[in-house]
Structure 1
Amino acid sequence: VATNNSRVDEPAGRIDTKAKKDSVITNLFRGGRNTLFSQTASFSYTLPLAKIPALDFVTANIKYQATYKWIGASRLAVNLGNFLENGQQKEGTVQMDFNRLYQKSKLLRQLDVPSNIEDRDRWRNRYSKVTDSVTNKLGKRVLRTRKILNKNAMPYVSTPLKVFGKLLTSLKQANISVGELGSTRLPGYTDSTQYLGQNFKSMAPGFDFILGKQVDSNWLNRKAAKGLITKDSSFNYLFQQNYDQTITASATLEPVRDLNITVNIKKSFSKNYTETFRFIDTTGGTNQKFMHLTPYSTGGFDVSYIAFKTLFGKFDPNRVSETFKTFQNNRVVLSRRLGKDNPYTQAQPGRGLQADGYYYGYGKYAVDVLIPSFIAAYTGQNPENVSLIKQTDGRTKTNPFRSILPKPNWNISYNGLTKIKGMEKIFNSFNVSHAYNGSLSMNGFTSALLYQDVSRFGYPSFYDTVSKAFIPFFLVPNVSIQEQFSPLLGFDMQFTNQFQAKFEYAKSRTLSLSLYDYQLSEQRSTEFSIGAGYRKRGLKAPFGLKLPKFLGGKKTLENEISFRMDYRIRDNVTANSRLDQDNNFATGGSREITITPTIDYFLSNRVNLKFYFDQRKVKPYISSSAPTTNTRAGVQVRISLAQ
C-alpha cells in the first residue's frame, strides 16, 4: 500500500498573467511537488507442515512488514534536506499441539481409556492359531499352523504403566513467539522520490532501505559519498534508530488428570540510538568530511526470573540481612573474575590486585562488579558462576545483558479432589492453586561518553579516578527484581449445600538497587485472605416475622439471596540498606485489615438490592504516619433496563 501527497505550487501574488497561469497548469500536470510518500509492504507465510503427517501437530507462521516514508523538506529550509524513515516488523510463531501427536499412537490413546480384566484378556489373546491343509514341494498334503493378529484389539495398559505414560506425555501444548521491531529516521537526505519510493536515476535510497533494512554507519558513509546528504553548515538534526525484541514461550502440562501446570518465559530488550551525522569543515576547506558525532544509546532489559531462594529467610527491616551481607562479600569474587579477564588491569606496574583486595579498575562500587554480585546474592547463585556483563558493542541490536537468560514462571491448579470417593458428597468443586511470577529488569541504561578501549581488546580501558573504576560501555542506573507468589497456596471450595469458601496466602518482594547512591530498597508483602459465601432461595424470616413490603411482605423470600464475607490481612514493609554501612532502617510499611460483608438480593429479574459494609484499617510501622480507619456502608439498588 502506497500513498503520495503532493502540492501544486503557485507563483506569488495574483494569478493574472499568462506566464503564471501556465506555471500552475504545468505544475498540475506534473503531479505537483511531492511532500510526503508513505508505503507499507507486508508478507506472511504459514509453513505447510500440515502436509507432513509426522509434523501435522505443529503450526508455524512467519510475518514481515516494512514501512517507508519520504518527508519533503520545508520550503523555508530546503538546504537542510528531506527526511527518510523506514521500519521493519518481524515475527515468528510456533504452536505445538502434542495431544494430536499422542493420538497417532494406539498405545498412547489407551492412556485415557479405562481398562478392565476383559480388555487385558482380549489383548493377551490378540493372536489366534489357525491350522490349514497345504501342499508342500513334494506334492503331499500337510497341516500348517499359523498365527493371525486381531487388528481391532486395543492395547491393554496397566495402572502403573498408565501413571508412567501420563508423566511421559504430560506436555500437552507449547507456544513460542519471537518478534523484532526496528526503525530508522535519517534527516538531511537531498534526493527525491519516484515510483515505489525509489529514485531510479540515482538508485537511491535503495530497495533494501525501502523494504525495512536497518542501516549502519557504512551505509551512511556511502550515501554521503554520493552527495545524498546535505552539507549545510546549520544542519544539526539527529540520526535515530530504535530496536525492540520480544521473546515469549509457554507450555501446558498435565502430568495427572485435573492437574494443570502452565510454564512461561519471557524476554524483552529495547535500545534507542542517536547521533549527529553531518559535514564538518575543520580547517577552512582542507579537511572536509562527514563525521559521526555524539553517539548515544539508551535502552531497557527485562526477563522472567527466579529469586525465591532468598525470599523465605528471616527479615528484620531494622537489621542488615544475611543476604545483603552476602551481596557485599560477593564483590571481591566478581572483582577478581573481571580483573583477570581485562588485560588493561595488568598493563602497567601498580595495577592488578590492590591493597583493599579488589582489582584495579574493578573496585567495590564498579557497575560491572555490583550487578552480578547483587544477582548472585539475591537469587542464590554461586558468585563464581554468575554471568558477567558484556558491554563492548554499540550496535543497535546488541544486548549487553544477553548472558542473563530468562527463567520460567508457573501457574499450577488442581481440581481433582472431588474425584476421590466420598468427596463428591461434600464438594461440587475444590480447586487448589499456586502461582509464581518473577522478573529481573534493568531499564534506563545509557551509553557512557567517556568509555574507551584503546587497544580494542573488548574491555574498558578508561580509569575514573573519582570512582576508581573503569568506565563501562553502558551506565545502568538501577537493577530491579520483582517476584510474587500469587498465591503461594490457595483453596477455592464450592459445597453441595451452596456454601462457598476461599482461602489464599500470598507473598511478594520487590528489590531495587540504585547504582548512583549504592542503596538497596527492599519491599516485602505478606497477604492472608479468607472468604465465605452462601446462597439460598426461599429463605424464611426469623421468629415467624413478615418481611418488609419492598421485599414482598411475606414470611419467605421468593428469590435467591446471597451472603458474602471477605476478610484480608496484608503486611507490607519497606527497608533501605546502604553498601558498607552497618545499618538498616524501615522507610515505610503498614498492616492493613479489610473486612467486607455483603448481602445481595434480586427483587426481580431487573432489580437488584445490595447491602454492603466495607472497613479498612491501616496501622503504619513507622512513627511519621498515623493509623487510619476508613468505613463505608450503605444500600445499592441496581435497575436493568435492557430487554
Structure 2
Amino acid sequence: QNTKNLNGNVDFVKLYNKVGYLKTLNTPQRGVGRGGPAPRPGAMRPGGRPQQQEEEKKADTTEAKPAVNYFKIVGDQVLKLVMSVKKANLSYTQNNGIFLPGFLPEPDLFGLNFATSAPGFGFVMGDEADIRQLAMDNDWLTRDSLLNRAYAKKFTENFSYKINLEPIPGLRIDINADRTYSLNFSEYFRADSLGKFATFSPVEAGSFSMSYGMWKTSFVKARSDESSQLFEDMLANRSVIADRLALSNEQWVQEEPGYFYDSIGKANYPYGYGAISQEVVLYSFLAAYKGQDAKNISLNPFPKTPIPNWTINYNGLTKIPFIQRLFKTVNVTHAYRSAYSVNSWRTNVDYKADNTTQTYRNSNLYIPKYDLGQVTISEQFAPLFGIDLGLHNSLTARLEYKKQRSLTLSFTNNQLTEVVGDELIIGAGYRLRNLSFIVSSITGGNATRASNDLVLKLDLGFRTDKTTLRRIDEQNSQVSAGQRKINIYVTADYTFSNRLSMQAYFRRDMADPFVSSQFKNSNTAGGITMRFSLAQ
C-alpha cells in the first residue's frame, strides 16, 4: 500500500508585507490622528513656534487647504479588501492498497523474494498497479481451486481547504470545505480444476461525504398540517430529472422506448426512469432541498467540488465609545456547517455497463449502476446568532440561537426522514473575586485559608425537536417523534487549591412531546461534586 500527502500553507500577510506600500496599509496606525499624541497647551512645536501660533494659523481660512485625494482613499480601501485574505491551508491525502491472496513466494527482506524477485520492486515500493498477470506468468499464485479469499483493491481520497479572512479589524471569517471518497474493489480470482485462472463476482463498495450547502431552504418551514413545500417541490422535480436522465442515456436515445404512465407519480415518465427510480428520486431530492433548479442539478451521486462552510467571529464592537463604557468584552459569533453523505454504497450486481437499459425483473425501471441504500444531507447553524457579553463588574451574559436540520432519504422503503430542531440559550454568570474559606485538615494538621474566585452560572434552554416521516410513494407526512424542552442549569464552582475543587449544581429538564402516545415528563437533579487530583 502507499500514502500520498500534499499539504500547503500560505501566510498572505507575509506576502503582502514584501511590498512596501501594502506593508504600510497593513500596519496599524498608532497615536491620535496622523500626528501622534496631542501636545499640551502652550507647548513648542518643532522649529520653536508655540502651539497657539499653529492654532491661529489653522483658524485663517484664507489659506488654501490641501485637496482630498478621493482616488487614493478608494484605492486604499480596495487594496485592504483584497488583503482581507490572511491565511490559506490546503490538504490532500490519497491511500491505496492491494490484497492478493494465494501468493506463494516467501519474502526475504523488505517484502521481496530475492530468488524470484516476487512480487516485484514496484509492488513493495507501493505501486498500486495490478500484478496478477505478472504473478500468473511467473507462477507466484496457488492453483488451489478451493481458494475462497477475494482479491481486494482499496482507494481513499481526502481533500480539504481552509481560508482565513479579516475584512476589517476584529472581524474574522473562516471558510472551509472538505470531501472524502472511499472505494473498495473486490473480486474472486482463482484457478479452476484445470489450473486456469478466472475472475468471479466483481464488486465495488465504499462511502462518500463532503461539505454541502442548503442555506437557500434553511428557513422554509412545514405547514401546520405537517405538509412541506420542499417535499412537494421534490415530487414535482421527478419528471424533469427523469427526462434529463433518459436523454443522457445514449442507449435510451437510440432505442427510443418512449414514455409510460406512472401511477405513483401520476404523470408520464420516460421508460426506465419512473417516479420511484433511485436516480430520479435522488437528484429530485438534492435539487429541492438545496434550492437549485432541477434542470441544472448535477447528475452525479458523488460531486467533485465541495461547497464551502463558514464561521464568523467579531469582537470589535468595544471600539465604539458608548459600548466600551458599558461592556468589557463583546463577542458576536455565527457558524454554518452542512454535509452530504452516502454512508455505504456498492455497485449493483445486475448492472451491465454495456446494457444500461436493462430493467429489474417484472419492472419497467432500469437497473442503476450504484445501490446507495440511503443518503443524508444535514446542516447546523451553530449558532445562527450568538453573543457573549462581559461587563466591567464581573457579570457575564450570553445569548445563542441554534438551528439544525437532517434529511435522510431511504431507497429501500421510499421514505424521507426529516429531523428539525432549534434551540435558544440564555445564560448569565458572575464571578465573586477573592472569596476566602478556612480549610481544616481531617488528620489534625494545620488549617489553611483558600482565597479564590467563586464562579456562578445560570443557563436557560428552550429546545424544539421534531421528526417527520414523508412517504414518497404515498405522498403523505406524519410526525413520529419530537418534543419541546425547557432546561434550567445552575452551577457554582470554587477551587480550593490546585488539587481540590468543588461544584454545586442544580438541573431541571421539562419535556412536552408532540406525539400523543408519549407523556409529558420532567427530571430534576442536584448535588455537590468534589474533584481531587493526584497529579503534580
Among 557, 561, 564, which residue is 2:457 paired with?
Answer: 564
Determine the structure 1 residue equivalent to 2:132.
220
1:452 aligns with 2:352: yes
- 1:76-225 maps to which residues of 2 (within 5 A)? 87-111=1-25, 112-114=27-29, 116-117=33-34, 160-216=74-130, 219-225=131-137
Q: Does 1:298 align with 2:210?
A: no
User: What stretches of structure 1 of length at least 5 have no aligned partner?
Assistant: 1-86, 120-154, 390-400, 541-546, 551-556
* Pair 197,163 (structure 1): closer, same or farther in 2 beyond 3 Å: same
Question: Partner residue of 1:406?
Answer: 306
Matched residue, 1:611: 504
Change (3 A) 1:221 1:570: same
Among residues 277, 282, 295, which one is paired with 1:371 in the alignment? Answer: 282
Residue number in structure 1 paired with 2:56? none
Q: Distance in 1 between matches of 2:23 and 2:387?
A: 32
Moved more, 460-469 or 330-339: 460-469
- Of 364, 372, 378, the residue aligned with 1:468 is 364
Q: Cα distance, 1:199 vs. partner?
A: 3.0
Aligned mates of 1:423, 1:582 — CA distance in 2: 53
Matched residue, 1:598? 491
Is the deviation greater in 180-189 or in 104-113?
A: 104-113
Deviation at 1:413, TM superposition (A): 0.2
Q: 1:490–1:505: 8 Å Cα contact kept in structure 2?
A: yes
Deviations along 1:580-626, one digit per CA (max 9) or x if unpaired, are: 42321001001111101223345566654433211111111112222
Q: In the alignment, is the contact (CA less than 8 A) between 1:317 and 1:585 conserved in 2?
A: no
Cα separation, 1, equivalents of 2:452 and 2:375: 56
Q: Among residues 379, 383, 386, which one is paired with 1:490 in the alignment?
A: 386
Aligned to 2:260: 354
For 1:348 and 1:206, locate their aligned partners in 2 and report how far apart those are by CA, in whole Å.
48
State the partner residue of 2:244.
Answer: 337
Look up the equivalent residue of 2:455 and give its one-letter code.
S
1:327 to 214, 234, 249: 234
Distance 1:193 1:613, change over 3 A: closer
2:208/2:302 contact within 8 Å kept: no
Spell out, residue by residue over 1:25-52, the C-alpha distance to the aligned partner (whole angstroms, 9 max, x if none). Answer: xxxxxxxxxxxxxxxxxxxxxxxxxxxx
Three-state SS of the structure 1 residue aligned to 2:4 is strand
* 1:209 CA displacement: 0.8
SS at match of 1:337: helix
Match of 2:471 among 575, 578, 582: 578
| Counterparts in 2 of 1:630 and 1:259: CA distance versus 1, 3 Å | same
Hey, what does 2:196 align to over in structure 1? 289
The letter for the 1-side match of 2:410 is: S
Shift of 1:181: 0.9
Q: Secondary structure at the match of 2:478?
A: strand
TM-score, normalization by structure 2: 0.85
* Number of residue equivalences: 487
2:428 pairs with one of 519, 527, 532: 532
Structure 2 residue 299 is the aligned partner of structure 1 residue 388: yes
Q: How far apart are the structure 2 equivalents of 1:290 and 1:622? A: 60
1:405-448 deviations in Å (ceiling 9; x for gaps): 21001000000011112322221110000000000001211111
Structure 1 residues 641, 578: CA separation in 2 closer, same or farther (over 3 Å shift)? closer
Quick check: 504-513 or 469-478, which moved more? 469-478
Letter in 2 for 1:583: N
CA distance in 1, matches of 2:494, 2:208: 50
What CA deviation, in whole Å up to 9, does each residue of 1:152-176 have, x standing for no partner? xxx9996655433221100000000
| Compared CA separation, residues 92 and 404, structure 1 to 2 (3 A) | closer
Change (3 A) 1:625 1:196: same
Instruction: Give 1:308's aligned residue.
Output: 215
What's the secondary structure of 1:193's corresponding residue? coil
| Aligned mate of 1:507, from 384, 403, 413 | 403
Determine the C-alpha separation between the residues in 1 that align with 2:373 and 2:220.
27
For the pair shown, which has the larger CA radius of gyration, 1 or 2?
Answer: 1
* RMSD of equivalent CA atoms: 2.6
C-alpha deviations, 1:34-80, integer Å up to 9, x for none?
A: xxxxxxxxxxxxxxxxxxxxxxxxxxxxxxxxxxxxxxxxxxxxxxx
